[in-house]
């Protein structure tokens, strides 16, 4: 069966009770945690001390998305804290291969993210060093933005490269994911989906997660002729 993983973003959660908010998404495949430094992106969220606390109480693995400057310096600590995966931005990393290897050595899966306007082709040779490739479908920095359909051709090219590589690298999308847009992203080849308000804005987050997963699986299967 085609992988269709749902990673709700706690950026849309109630920050005053994050432990409880993580329990609300215990049927998800992972919790997506955005770390922003107010430099790489114009927003400030949370850092390593909070992530360490979340790691202790989360019922699901933590999927870290570092929207920060100098991830070469800061990213390994998140892997050492026990996070399941740590994704850094291609635009910010000085030595992405070295960093990916350090993350893997520390026990985390290594992810590489690209902004909507960043071409993916220069990084496709790095696929053997990665466990996940994140194609941003909004500009990083804020939740609640609308999905950018202009990213779909890039997503299709990335999916083709991942399949050629052997299909072992997860292809994640982040930004504006809803029941409507997840269908288009799945058809383009994504298999891992970050959803914020679509989950945390729902009356029943578990039902929202199930609906997103079902829609993604249906359209992914259709795209691959299953």
In the set 5, 29, 131, 174, the catalytic residue is 174
Q: How much is the pTM?
A: 0.95
Q: What is the pLDDT of residue 224?
A: 62
Is 174 designated active site? yes
Average confidence score pLDDT of the chain: 95
Q: What is the pLDDT of residue 221?
A: 64
In the set 34, 63, 131, 191, the catalytic residue is 34
- Average the pLDDT over 171-195 and give the result: 96
One-character DSSP codes across the chain: ----EEEEBGGGS-GGGHHHHHHTTTTSS-EEEEEEBSSSSS-B---HHHHHHHHHH-SS-EEEEEE-S-HHHHHHHHHHTT-SEEEEETTT-SSHHHHHHHHHHTT-EEEEEE-TTS-SGGGGGGGGG-SEEEEESS-TT-SSPPP-GGGHHHHHHHHHHHHHHTS-SEEEEESS--HHHHHHHHHHT--EEEESHHHHTSS-HHHHHHHHHHHHHHHHHHHTT-
Q: What is the pLDDT of residue 190?
A: 97
């Amino acid at each position: 069966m085609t992988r269709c993983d749902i990673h709700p973003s706690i950026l849309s959660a109630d920050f005053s009770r994050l432990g409880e908010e993580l329990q609300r998404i215990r049927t998800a495949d992972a919790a997506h945690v955005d770390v922003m430094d107010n430099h790489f992106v114009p927003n400030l969220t949370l850092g390593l001390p909070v992530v360490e606390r979340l790691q202790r109480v989360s019922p699901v693995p933590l999927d870290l998305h570092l929207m920060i400057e100098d991830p070469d310096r800061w990213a390994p600590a998140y892997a050492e804290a026990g996070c399941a995966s740590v994704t850094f931005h291609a635009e910010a990393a000085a030595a992405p291969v070295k960093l990916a290897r350090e993350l893997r050595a520390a026990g985390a899966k290594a992810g590489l993210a690209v902004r909507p306007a960043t071409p993916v082709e220069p990084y496709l040779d790095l696929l053997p060093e990665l466990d996940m490739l994140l194609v941003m479908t909004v500009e990083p920095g804020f939740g609640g933005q609308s999905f950018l359909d202009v990213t779909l051709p890039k997503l299709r090219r990335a999916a083709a490269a991942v399949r050629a590589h052997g299909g072992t690298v997860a292809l994640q999308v982040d930004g504006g994911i809803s029941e409507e847009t997840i269908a288009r992203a799945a058809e383009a080849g994504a298999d891992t989906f970050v959803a914020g308000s679509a989950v945390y804005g729902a009356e029943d987050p578990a039902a929202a997660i199930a609906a997103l997963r079902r829609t993604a699986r249906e359209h992914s299967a259709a795209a691959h002729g299953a």
